[in-house]
Each structure stands twice: as structure tokens, then as C-alpha cells.
Amino acid sequence: MACFLASAFLFILQTFAAPPQASISLNGINLNDEDVTLSPPPGTSKRPPHSIIIGVRKGGTRALLEMLDIHPEVAAAATEVHFFDWDENYAKGLEWYRELMPYSYPHQITVEKTPGYFTSTLAPERICAMNSSIKLLLILRDPAERVVSDYTQVYFNRLENHKPVQAIENLLVRNGALNTGYKAIQRSLYDIHMRNWLRHFPLEQIHIVDGDLLIHDPLPELQKVERFLNLPPRIVASNFYFNQTKGFYCIRSDGRERCLHESKGRPHPVVNSTVLQQLRSYLQEHNRTFFRLVKRTFNWQ
């Protein structure tokens, strides 16, 4: 019922909204007529996504999308737009969002990834309003390791932009106690965010990919995704090779080899063991609650 009402509301908004302006900015992407009227490859069209990788940040969303893109029946969206937690001109923006999807052939499914959706309070209801039967992919990793990875990304981004940085311990601990308000910790409270999604989608529509397993042995996790998306099995072991220098698996397809961007797989800082144990202890109860919600467990410390 919630999805139906939201869908009806969106339809009304779209019906009475003024036509989109000649130029609109969507998450920093400037869209105009030239952007959306390029000649498509013959026999292709743009369609709303059949599946969305909804998160989690630093869980392996980019790796999952690029590995899925090996499949000949998958068309992967190149742009990450954070549209469903976007506040301005929502009814107008929905059409622009669809235009950002790749051209695809009739036999292909379109997959988009935006890791911020999982922690968004707005995204579940809005995605449900767009397509209540959409298949959702959620890739998760050990939540404590995800916190450290989250910090690492911000740390390097600040260095590159010549901004001051702090040691991770100074962010994790305030006045001798764990800083539970730290955004990186909040993003790792998987149970809280999952409850929001389960208010709008049944668990059967959300496939959880084990991000830790995807890193160490990608094929089994991708085969599960193929089955979930009702895709014929096309991804095989020869599509991957382990890069000793980078320390993770890279992709081999169509006679080409490629690895993820150099920003992926950066070395993590060594975290004070006492502080790390504080973090893990705090996350344990949230992890147990999450396991009950999704009816499965993960090998998280």
C-alpha cells in the first residue's frame, strides 16, 4: 500500500510538473539536451534499471558492478548519481535519472550502482515508488573493516586536496569513549539501515553479496547474483586473475584485462588494538540483530 500511494503521488507530480529546464544539475552532473539526445546504437533504448546495487559504501560496489558488466546480458550504468536521496525537482529528476541509464538491447538488463542508497532514509520509499518489483543488490563486508576503509578513502581524498587530516583513533574515540556519532560508524550499523529497506521491500527482493568473499574468490558470489537476476550463467573462472602487485582479483573479458582504479585497495592504517576492539564490541550487537533480520550470518569478527 505504501508503494502504491507513493507511486500515485509521483505520477501526479510528474503530470503537473513544468517541463524540465534546458539545463539541470543532478548530483553535480550537468544535464542538457545535448547530453540526452545522442544517437543510440541501432536496436537499443534507455530504460529504468532492472536492478540497483544499493550499497554499502566501501563494501565493493564498484567491483561488483564491473564484474557483473562481464556478462553479455548486463548493461552497467557508468554514472553514480545518488538520485533517490536527492531533494530538488524530484518529479522532473526522475526522467533525467532514466536518461542516465545506458543504452541497452532488449535482451539485456540494466544495472545501476549508488552505494549511498543503503544508508539513505529516502531511497527505499522512492525506489519502491519507481518500481516495487525491482531486484536490489546489497554488498556488505565486515563492518569494522568497512569503517577503516571509509576513513582511508576520506584520508587520501583530504591529502589530495591539501586539507588537514587526523589519525583514525582521534575520530573513533572522543573523551575516552567510542565516538558513535562518527559517520563512518553510523554507516556500519547495518541493522538500522536494513530495517528501513525491509519496510518497503520483502527480503526476497534483496540479494546480499558477501564483499569479503567477493574479494578473495569472486566467481561463487557472482554466480549467486546471476541466479538472483535470472541471468544465464556466463561468468566463468577465466574472467578473473589475481594481480600479485595490487593484491586483488582483476578482470579479463573480450580479450582485455583491467583492474579497478588505483584508489581501490589502498593500504589501511594500523589501528590501535584497544580502539579497534572497542569498535568491534560496539558493532557486535548490531551485527547479531542484522543476522536475524536477513536470516543468515557472516564471518565478521
Would the annotation count 238 as a binding residue? no
Interatomic CA distance for residues 231 and 252, integer angstroms = 20
Contact assessment for residue 114 and residue 80, using Cβ atoms and an 8 Å cutoff: yes
Q: Is 233 annotated as a binding residue?
A: no
Q: Is 266 annotated in some ligand binding site? A: yes
Q: Flag whether 268 is marked binding.
A: yes
DSSP E strand boundaries for 16-62: 23-26, 29-32, 45-46, 51-55
Catalytic (active site) residue 58: yes
Residue 59, annotated ligand binder? Answer: yes
Give the up-direction half-sphere exposure of residue 292: CA atoms within 13 A in the CB hemisphere.
Answer: 8
Residue 46, marked binder: no
Per the residue annotation, which of 58, 92, 113, 135 is the catalytic one?
58
Q: Which set of grid coordinates corresponds to residue 49?
A: 534499471
Burial of 289 (0-12, 13-18, 19+ CB in 10 A): middle
Give the type of residue at 200.
H
CA-angle at 223, arms to 222 and 226, nearest 5°: 90
**Is residue 158 a known part of a binding site?**
no
265 marked ligand binding residue = yes
User: Residue 220 CB: number of other CB atoms within 10 A?
Assistant: 10
Binding residues for 3'-phosphoadenylyl sulfate: 58-62, 141, 149, 249, 264-268
Binding residues: 58-62, 141, 149, 249, 264-268
* Residue positions annotated with a catalytic role: 58
